[in-house]
A and B are shown apart, each in its own frame.
Chain A
Amino acid sequence: MLELAMREINLAELTGHGAVRNLSGHIRGQEARRFFGLDDADRGDEEVVICVPEEVYMVTPSFFQGMFASSVHARGNDREAFFRKFKFQADSVVLKQIDRGIAAVLTRRDSSLFS
């Protein structure tokens, strides 16, 4: 039996184990990326499981992009490939926010305001 190598990242390390119930800020996302070594993870084959504590009700798009935009780009801007690499264990509300975060990474700014 072969088993894929797997790594677990628990975002409770960022929320102070329940001290806050939301994660915000692009810089904070970038710092989290460095802290958890996601550049290295992107180069490896292992799956990464991201555990979002149950009490968290918001992962803002800017935090998500700070932490994961480079990983989405590293997988060729392929949403499905990103999700094959990163498995999110989170409430359905947060999973939708993560989906919105990916959409934001993949979407260029709508320029209609400037037309």
Chain B
Amino acid sequence: MLSRFRSTAVMDALVPDRRRRWVSILRRPVRSTPAQLSLENFSFIENPVETLQAVKRIIETESVEIDAKLHFKDKYVTDIGPYLVLGEIWPHMAPVYSGGQMAAAIQKVIRAVGLQKSLRMHLGGGADSKDVWAIPMQRRRPARTSASQRQHLEPQKRERVADAVCDAIDGWLGQEEICLKLTKVGKGELSGIIGELLCNAERHSQVDSDDGDWSIAAFMAKREEDGEKIFRCHLAFLSVGASIAESLETAAPDVLDYMSRYTARHRQGPQSEATLRTVFALQDTVTCDPNARQNGRGGTGLQDVLDWVTMLGQTADANFEPRVTIISGSSCIRLRHPYIKGERQKDDRSPRVLWCNAENSPNRPPDPTVAFDLPERFAGTIISVAFTLDADYLNRTINDAGTGNA
């Protein structure tokens, strides 16, 4: 199990002195009891600070120990985002982790989203796929590795993934308890949102390149909660490289000017400039591409995602309302009711804004429980999404609208 130090953006950002701390495998002490790490409430959505710190501890342990056990203490996967991050870093880590505890429900999800191989796990439980429907993890090949002269003329990975997400959500909605399906319009909108989101990651996550990488995974689990059948849906998207705040450096002058006025206005608050910039980036029409802004394109992807999630995740039960967490660089934005969806301020063509405060105003600072700085830095962006398909509510809404389709 000889392994050399391998540098990656995610690991190096979370543990900046990793190279210095790295101990050659042959020099690591053999302990009578392996190092033990426990992951609890492993969710960027519910527990972003501690979850990122847990990932950091995993990396730190990998640098110095020769044998370690990793215990997943949760009963269920409540956010696929952290597992996507593990899938990103695991192939680059020394194989010091061997075994640990993991509930069958988590094993089932790991297997369904195809992370078992990346995580080098031998799973004993959760062998059947009953009650879990997944979009296996999809990755665009690492940045700057395409050799094709016709790179942009061939069907794109993001387009295949957008189709897969449409098919999967259509399948989720088609469960007998829900019995809905996406219309062609719905599939078109959803594929457009996913395609544009992934396209943005390709264009903006790598400086001076439009060839960045990303990964995505999703699943729906049917669970029995308080005697009710609940359809929990989870989706996560990860891009490695520049954070949202960093990528805005290249924005058009008018965007930079407004952003600088916005961040100056709230400089005395608890959020760093980077976090204020990340809030700013939530607003419609804010794009880091000056050419796109000049030509009236772009800058609506995040609000499109939030619109879709809140539309699909409509529910009468506040416990099941949609939640979205964005981790980018050292900034975290936790979106949930009442700050989950942008509002158009004037008419239906004005930009959607979500300033994360009660007045939904750029003149007020963002709520510090919604937008805050992280003690660690993630080299890129993670968007974790959780929502519940509420069959009764969706059917009632559809029936009220006089159609059988979503």
List residues of chain A with CB under 8 Å of any chain B CB.
13-16, 19-28, 30-32, 35, 57-58, 60-62, 65, 69, 91, 93-94, 97, 104-105, 107-114
The CA-CA distance from A94 to B192 in the complex, in Å, is: 12
Find A16's partner among B154, B185, B189, B296 (CB 8 Å cutoff).
B154
Residues in A whose Cβ lies below 8 Å from that of B210: 27
Find B351's partner among A16, A108, A112 (CB 8 Å cutoff).
A112
Residues in B whose Cβ lies below 8 Å from that of A62: 196, 199, 292, 297-298
Residues in A whose Cβ lies below 8 Å from that of B156: 20, 24-25, 28
The CA-CA distance from A113 to B196 in the complex, in Å, is: 21
B195 touches A22 (CB 8 A): yes
Find A93's partner among B166, B184, B286 (CB 8 Å cutoff).
B184
Residues in A whose Cβ lies below 8 Å from that of B346: 112
Chain A binder among B16-24, B134-142, B157-165, B218-226: B157-165
List residues of chain B with CB under 8 Å of any chain A CB.
152-156, 158-160, 162-163, 166, 184-185, 187-189, 191-192, 195-196, 199, 202-203, 210, 254-255, 258, 283-286, 292-293, 295-298, 345-346, 349-351, 353
A113 touches B155 (CB 8 A): no
B191 touches A58 (CB 8 A): yes
Given contacts A13-B153, A21-B187, A58-B192, 11 further A-B contacts (CB under 8 A): A20-B162, A21-B166, A24-B191, A31-B153, A35-B153, A62-B199, A65-B295, A91-B184, A97-B188, A107-B296, A110-B351
A24 touches B163 (CB 8 A): no
A114 touches B254 (CB 8 A): yes
The CA-CA distance from A50 to B292 in the complex, in Å, is: 25
B191 → A minimal CB distance (Å) = 4
A38 → B minimal CB distance (Å) = 14
The CA-CA distance from A107 to B187 in the complex, in Å, is: 25
The CA-CA distance from A30 to B295 in the complex, in Å, is: 14
B160 touches A109 (CB 8 A): no
Residues in A whose Cβ lies below 8 Å from that of B254: 111, 114
Residues in B whose Cβ lies below 8 Å from that of A28: 152-153, 156
Find A61's partner among B162, B185, B286, B297 (CB 8 Å cutoff).
B297
A67 → B minimal CB distance (Å) = 11
B35 → A minimal CB distance (Å) = 45
Residues in B whose Cβ lies below 8 Å from that of A25: 152, 156, 158, 195, 199, 202
Find A32's partner among B153, B159, B160, B349 (CB 8 Å cutoff).
B153
Residue of chain A at shortest CB distance from B289:
A26
B184 touches A24 (CB 8 A): no
A91 → B minimal CB distance (Å) = 7
B14 → A minimal CB distance (Å) = 31
Residue of chain B at shortest CB distance from A19:
B155
A31 → B minimal CB distance (Å) = 4
Residues in A whose Cβ lies below 8 Å from that of B203: 27
A60 touches B195 (CB 8 A): yes
- With known contacts A22-B192, A113-B351, A93–B185 Cβ distance under 8 A: yes
Residue of chain A at shortest CB distance from B152:
A31
Q: List 5 A-B contacts (CB under 8 A).
A: A22-B162, A24-B156, A57-B191, A58-B162, A110-B350
Find A20's partner among B160, B258, B296 (CB 8 Å cutoff).
B160
Residue of chain B at shortest CB distance from A69:
B295
Residue from B163, B258, B293, B350 having most chain A Cβ neighbours under 10 A: B163
A65 touches B195 (CB 8 A): no
B188 touches A20 (CB 8 A): no
B195 touches A24 (CB 8 A): yes
B346 → A minimal CB distance (Å) = 6
A110 touches B285 (CB 8 A): yes
B127 → A minimal CB distance (Å) = 32
A20 touches B159 (CB 8 A): yes
B144 → A minimal CB distance (Å) = 15
Residues in B whose Cβ lies below 8 Å from that of A91: 184
B358 → A minimal CB distance (Å) = 19
B184 touches A57 (CB 8 A): yes
A52 → B minimal CB distance (Å) = 12
Residue of chain A at shortest CB distance from B299:
A109
Residues in B whose Cβ lies below 8 Å from that of A22: 159, 162-163, 188, 191-192, 195
B278 → A minimal CB distance (Å) = 16
The CA-CA distance from A23 to B293 in the complex, in Å, is: 21
Residues in B whose Cβ lies below 8 Å from that of A30: 152
- With known contacts A19-B160, A93-B185, A109–B195 Cβ distance under 8 A: no
